[in-house]
Structure 1
């Protein structure tokens, strides 16, 4: 996060960076854990179910999820994979995006472009550093069969599934679809940060506030809602990611598909609508995530920076 309350000699706002500390990293983890444990995982399960079972409507997907475990069915994959992913990707996003956004502003980028660049950099870092195997295993939990076998044998536990995938395909198996995850996260957070910053500037103009002037909590949340909703434009990438990681039986699906080959397969089997299955819960998820990580994240970083400054003084 940057602050522009001071001015240069020419009158232009001076760009100051809030210091990134271990506290910022911890805040990112806590925010992401809070997001996923509340409404984040139910939205995740709904949009993944629709993307993997593209014949299901939103109501149909809710019934399908409920049949797999009642209310707990909406939290499939949360423990341990959702929590591991949330704690690690949250701790990566805030410091990386903050540093990238600050550097881009120093180069002369406006808040919109700096926000896009910061979000894209943080999203790619998330995917390759922390998210690969967690996303793969969450999708496996949501899409695999959990019925009792014909001999009364209980379905495999999540750790047994993990070990089976690793034994069969190694590191590449538990990270299948990571390139699609990186593409999704890059476009996700580039859009969320960029559009949220653009919305903040528009709100300032509408409310006759000066550049860099503090927005009210409601205005910050509104800007994050706009950024989160618009970020769902990349739903085809998310459908491709789910298809690559899905364990829903499909005898017609070729093996070892690339991102582009998977996109062509989904389009061939379900048309353009298939590439947008799960868009509604994805919009809700995008809003929820952006409010936590952009709006609440800004306030948390500002609070920690002010507290640290007081301790120094």
Structure 2
């Protein structure tokens, strides 16, 4: 293992240093820690929270890309945005892009918990001590990068569907998730499906900070209550820790979401993430990097709480059945 004990899937535990271990053997050891229960619990939590709170995600994205283009509807605030969409398009308008959002959130949360718990278990193999905060951070960042590689096309599709406006005289470009995936691939190739990937990779720091804070809060709280660090908590305790960790992560990393949404927007062309940053700073100042943050907090905080409570309870249930 590296000097700081970074939990890389190909690292070697301290007891086995100096002994050659093949990549195949390391991968076999890593996959021995993979549990489908974490995948199922994560998918369930992500899908439920997304179905409940998708309209707020739509509002957040529309504010995040509000760069003054004439084709975009003008909103005075969150409530005005919701009312305007409801009057123009009804409930269907508020759930525009929900299909890829459900797929994306379910897959992302499921894969994230799937990879994260496997990496944690691998890193703790042959160790008596708990993982440190930095090790939790690294494990979560690795899980986030692996998840993003698999799910970025879904997020591009969601953004494109959410940003179809009735005021756009070119008409509805995409009829649904599959239609959008096919058209983006045909018109823009693989590069189109991976727009926003670089800021998305930076965004893995968001999940890493959130999981680090969540793990540390759980462990410190259980120590305070003189319980095992992995002891099951009640729903209110999970809610509190999930909310605190999410607010901490969002307030630290939100600007990358604005950059990513603008790169994925079909109405404006940027040469890359640096071009988005320069133009946003020049035209809108620092405030431009935080557009939609309130809507985002109002959505992701309860979404995170729902996801983590569902995940923790379902994973405990499934794992206990296997014991």
- Count matched residues: 280
**1:139 partnered with 2:159:** yes
In 2, Cα distance between equivalents of 1:289 and 1:187: 19
5+ residue gaps in structure 2?
A: 1-31, 69-74
**1:241 partnered with 2:263:** no
In 1, Cα distance between equivalents of 2:172 and 2:291: 31
In the other structure, the counterpart of 2:212 is 194
In 2, Cα distance between equivalents of 1:147 and 1:300: 43
In 1, Cα distance between equivalents of 2:84 and 2:142: 36
Note closer, same or farther for the CA distance 1:35–1:127 as it changes in structure 2 (3 Å cut).
same
Give how far 1:144 is off. 2.5
Do 1:32 and 1:86's aligned partners in 2 also have CA atoms closer than 8 Å? yes
In 1, Cα distance between equivalents of 2:235 and 2:217: 14
Alignment counterpart, residue 230 of structure 1, candidates 243, 248, 254: 248
Do 1:85 and 1:134's aligned partners in 2 also have CA atoms closer than 8 Å? yes
Q: Scaled by the length of structure 1, what TM-score is found?
A: 0.78
**1:49 partnered with 2:39:** no
Note closer, same or farther for the CA distance 1:67–1:274 as it changes in structure 2 (3 Å cut).
farther
Give how far 1:89 is off. 2.0
Q: SS of the counterpart of 1:69?
A: helix
Q: Scaled by the length of structure 2, what TM-score is found?
A: 0.76
In 2, Cα distance between equivalents of 1:154 and 1:24: 38
**1:35 partnered with 2:49:** yes
In the other structure, the counterpart of 1:72 is 92
RMSD: 2.7
Alignment counterpart, residue 192 of structure 2, candidates 173, 182, 186: 173
Of stretches 294-303 and 46-55 in structure 1, the one that deviates more from structure 2 is 294-303
Note closer, same or farther for the CA distance 1:244–1:110 as it changes in structure 2 (3 Å cut).
same
Give how far 1:165 is off. 2.6
Do 2:214 and 2:245's aligned partners in 1 also have CA atoms closer than 8 Å? yes
In 1, Cα distance between equivalents of 2:297 and 2:193: 27
In 2, Cα distance between equivalents of 1:90 and 1:204: 24
5 Å-filtered alignment, 1:123-134, equals 123-129=144-150, 131-134=151-154
Do 1:149 and 1:155's aligned partners in 2 also have CA atoms closer than 8 Å? no
Q: For residues 230-277 of structure 1, what are the alpha-carbon distances to aligned partners after superposition, in whole Å with 9 as ceiling and x for unaligned?
A: 121211000000100113x45xxxx34222221222111111011011
